[in-house]
Amino acid sequence: MVVKMSIIFPKLTSSNKLIMRRITSIFVFLALLIPFSNFAQVLKPIHISTSTKDLGNGTYVLSLDFKIDPPFHVYAQKPGSDDDVLPTALTFTPNADYELIGTVQEVGNLKNEKDPNFGISLRYYENKLSLQQKVKLKKPKASIVADLQYMTCDDHQCLPPKYESYTFNLSGAVAPSDSKEATATPIDTISKAPIDTTKPTNADTAKTPPVATPTDDTGANDPWWKILLNGMLAGLIAIFMPCVFPMIPLTVSFFTKRSATKSQGIRNALLYGGSMIFLFVSLGFLVGNSLNAWASSAFFNLIFFVVFIIFAISFLGAFEIVLPNWIVQKSSNNESKGGIIGVFFMAFTMVLVSFSCTGPFITWAINVKSASPFAAAIAMFGFGFMFSLPFMFFAFFPGWLQSLPKSGSWLNSIKVAFGFIELAAAFKFLSNVDQAYHWQILPREVFLVIWIVIFALLGFYLLGKIRLHADDDLPLNDYGKPYLTVTRLLFSILAFCFTIYLVPGLWGAPLKIISGFPPPVTYTEGKWINTVGAANTNSDTKVGGFETEEGPHGLRVFRDYATALKASKVVHKPIFVDFTGYSCVNCRKMEESVWSEDAVLKQLQNDYVVVSLFVDDREKLPADQQAKDADGNMMTTKGQLYTNLQITRFNKNAQPYYVLMDENENVLNTPSPANFKVAEFAQFLTDGVSKYKK
């Protein structure tokens, strides 16, 4: 059998050659966007020197002077964004030999312009910058250690953040004491004075982000390719929804009929797909600014719960979600204008009409993996590209339309299956709020029971044992008997396997595959019945004479920072500070997949005082403990208090974030975000203990 190659590779006309050249140019351009930093020379555009200036009377100015090679720049202590940009920060390790006067000052030509890397206005310095801190000696000699962090960018790239230490050795007359000077407030009284003035950071002078918007850093730390692939996956699944899939042959046929030539039809199809990508990317930019607030806001978590429930019920066939007819009609009327405008409004109409099916997948693509407008736009580019790809592809090869499976009941089955999944996902948002407010209406057992029932029903549905309103009968075999397709059988097996996997979780199994989604193993009905859960390996609920709570894997943990400090001074152990959140998926994954390993768990049990500070805890503070944060806003909840602590002390507002310190609040090593490599995290703990003992 001879197959003509012209069928597979059709002869290129001059117009087709032009199109192919343009497509090739696009792919070459995209390839150039991939960073090949491993093959490039190492860039070192920042040169830093130190200097001191004697002001007399035991007072000095310590300076770190930057020489910045063009075209690079470094960001200010207040760059204008705490989500995408690492601010420059200079912090000093306190000791009894000296005292800080005021805060770190910036000397240089400050610019406030739109940064092309982040698409927002940011404050930065070019050519030169000097960070200056005034100090006074309290002893004739002082060794002052300063920790510096900064990030370097030009108009096209950003280099990895730098973390460096510098030492200033001073000697001279002791500064005269000033009895009128206010005494610095120690941080162990954090409940009444949350800002530790003995350990200033750049946040002392910077406008910190609102305390109500701490966020899981899942999306913030994800590489761009991972965000893109997540969006592409969501877009691929959305294609197979009943209100999208049947439109592929109809739309392509419309293009081929209205176009005078094949090349014109291809051009219109490309313009159609490009318009859809533009619309989805614009949506990503519009909602991206709100993602951080949505991640931990109780209001938005409840909104998402309701929205997902509505979508799930719609997917199950109870009703159809449609946009107001006047919106769709107005867009449709503009299609008749022809040309570019007409094609654009055809794409706009398609996006609007398909919203009832694509809405949940858009929410998934943006909310799960994105934490900024830039990341949301990447996710939506991936979504729009995959969503529009079939329309463009079949415009190139219209003959292949015949190979598409015919629309039928299988499309409705896919929609219903995703209805069950949407229903399960909805309870994750309700669980976030339940934990933050301590309602105790959705403990781990109840959550898992709901999921077990939902996925069991999904399995029975795929087997054809449950039929809904829009379902057709199963197909008939050659003997006139209904039969189950192999595809449905395989997916039903998967659903039942997952259901059975969930069951041991009712009795405390970790369920590492879905770690982060159900409530933690400590948030159970048993916790509210028994003082100590069955998983606890230590019958003593006190550490250093102070009462603790049960944490992951039987750990005894504090939920109050000041109490943990006092316990540390009694037992003479370093403190493991865990900045976490009820709605933080990575926090649960760390606890269930990393903390559970012996190399980590034994160190946390034996070598540390563990304190978990939930930044989204909505429990009210007593009136006498309420205070203003670094921005002057009143802190009324524990979550706001601990958010302010994390920002003012460590210039971070993402979770999880782990800090090792001694009983005097000296940080022992570089704090760690989520790190799912058990050996590295265990070494992080080992290093902390070693430095504590020195």
pLDDT at 214 over 70: no
How sure is the predictor about 471, in pLDDT bands with cuts at 50, 70 and 90? Answer: confident
Q: What is the pLDDT of residue 194?
A: 35
Is 280 or 167 the better-scoring residue by pLDDT? 167
CA angle 60, 64, 65 (to 5 degrees): 120
Mean pLDDT of the chain: 74
216 lies in some domain: no
Could you give the percent of the chain with pLDDT greater than 70? 67
* Model confidence band, residue 222 (pLDDT cutoffs 50, 70, 90): low
In this predicted structure, which of 21-30, 210-219, 682-691 has the lowest mean pLDDT? 210-219
Mean pLDDT across 417-438: 83
Average pLDDT over residues 519-535: 56
Instruction: Convert the pLDDT of each residue in 255-280 to its tens digit.
Output: 655 555 667 767 777 787 788 888 88
What pLDDT sits at residue 457?
A: 95
Beta bridge partners of 460: none
- Among 409, 239, 419, 414, CA closest to 321: 419
**Can you give the pLDDT at residue 131?**
93
Q: Is the per-residue pLDDT at 379 higher than 50?
A: yes
Residue type, 631: D
In a domain, 684, yes or no: yes
pLDDT given at position 538: 47
* Last-in-domain residue among 456, 488, 514: 514
> Domain end: 475, 491, 514, which one?
514
Say which residue the tokens 């395989």 belong to.
490
Please give the radius of gyration of the chain, using alpha carbons only, rounded to the nearest integer: 30
What was the pLDDT predicted at 192? 34
Q: Are residues 92 and 116 in the same domain?
A: yes
Pairwise pLDDT comparison (346 vs 33), residue with the higher score: 346
Residue 171 lies in a domain: yes
Token representation of residue 542:
């006190």
Residues 6+ apart with CB under 8 A from 591: 515, 520, 552, 553
Asked if residues 584 and 656 have their Cβ atoms less than 8 Å apart, the reply is yes
Three-state secondary-structure class, residue 77: coil
| pLDDT score at 232 | 85
Predicted confidence at residue 187, as pLDDT, reads 37
Residue 50 bridge partners (DSSP):
64
Pick from 111-125, 285-299, 551-565, 630-644 the range whose average pLDDT is largest: 551-565
Which whole-number Å values give the CA distances from 277 to 268, 332, 639, in the listed order? 14, 19, 39
Is 434 inside any structural domain? no
DSSP 8-class letter at 334: G
How far apart CA 358 and CA 349 sit, in angstroms, is 13
**Closest to 172 (Cα-Cα) out of 134, 135, 137, 133:** 137
State residue 163's pLDDT score.
77
Residues 393 and 497 in one domain: no
Average pLDDT over residues 656-678: 89
**Tokens 């592409």 belong to which residue?**
232
Give the confidence band of 578 by pLDDT, cuts at 50, 70, 90.
very high
Assess if residue 217 is contained within a domain: no
Contact of 277 with 379, CB cutoff 8 Å: no
Tokens for 199, please give them. Answer: 């350990």
The answer to whether residues 17 and 9 touch, using CB atoms and an 8 Å cutoff, is: no
| Domains held by the chain: number | 4
How is 311-322 classified by DSSP, letter by letter?
Answer: HHHHHTTS----
pTM (global) more than 0.75: no
Does 261 share its domain with 142?
Answer: no
Structural domain that includes position 299: 222-423
The pLDDT, as a whole number, for residue 66 is 93
460 shares its domain with 546: no
Q: Cα–Cα distance between 595 and 615 in angstroms, integer?
A: 20
Task: Tell me how crowded residue 683 is: count the other CB atoms within 10 A of its CB.
Answer: 13
Q: Is residue 109 part of a domain?
A: yes
Does residue 665 or residue 582 have the better pLDDT? Answer: 665
The answer as to whether 25 is a domain residue is no
> pLDDT tens across 134-157, in order?
999 888 888 899 989 888 887 766
* Same domain flag for 380 and 298: yes
Cβ neighbours for 407, distance < 8 A, ≥ 6 positions apart:
242, 245, 246
- The residue assigned the tokens 């929609």 is 415
In this predicted structure, which of 86-100, 128-142, 343-357 has the lowest mean pLDDT? 343-357
> 277 or 557, which is more confident?
557
**Residues 529, 508 share a domain:** no
Q: Which of 649, 668, 616 is nearest to 212 (CA)?
A: 616
Last residue of a domain, which of 423, 452, 485?
423
Same domain, 465 and 585: no
* C-alpha pair distances (Å), 110 with each of 79, 130, 340: 10, 11, 44
> Is 373 within a domain?
yes
* Per-residue confidence (pLDDT) for residue 213, from 0 to 100: 33
* Same-domain check for residues 332 and 403: yes
Q: What is the pLDDT of residue 688?
A: 92
pLDDT 10s digits, 103-112? 899 988 888 8
Q: Which of 168, 616, 604, 239 is nearest to 418 (CA)?
A: 239
In a shared domain, residues 646 and 529:
yes
Same domain, 489 and 376: no
CATH code of residue 649: 3.40.30.10
- Both 301 and 361 in a single domain? yes
User: What's the rounded Cα separation, in Å, for the pair 505 and 487?
Assistant: 29
Q: Which pLDDT score, from 0 to 100, does residue 335 have?
A: 52
How far, in Å, CA of 100 to CA of 104, rounded?
Answer: 9
pLDDT value for 564: 92
Between residues 442 and 522, which one has the greater pLDDT?
442
- Strands 556-558 and 609-614: what pairing? parallel
CA angle, 14 as apex, 11 and 20 as ends, to 5°?
75
Tokens in use for 189?
Answer: 């009284």
Q: What is the mean pLDDT of residues 226-255?
A: 70
Q: Are residues 265 and 140 in the same domain?
A: no
Q: How far apart are CA 555 and CA 568, in angstroms?
A: 16
> What CATH number should be reported for the domain holding residue 105?
2.60.40.1250
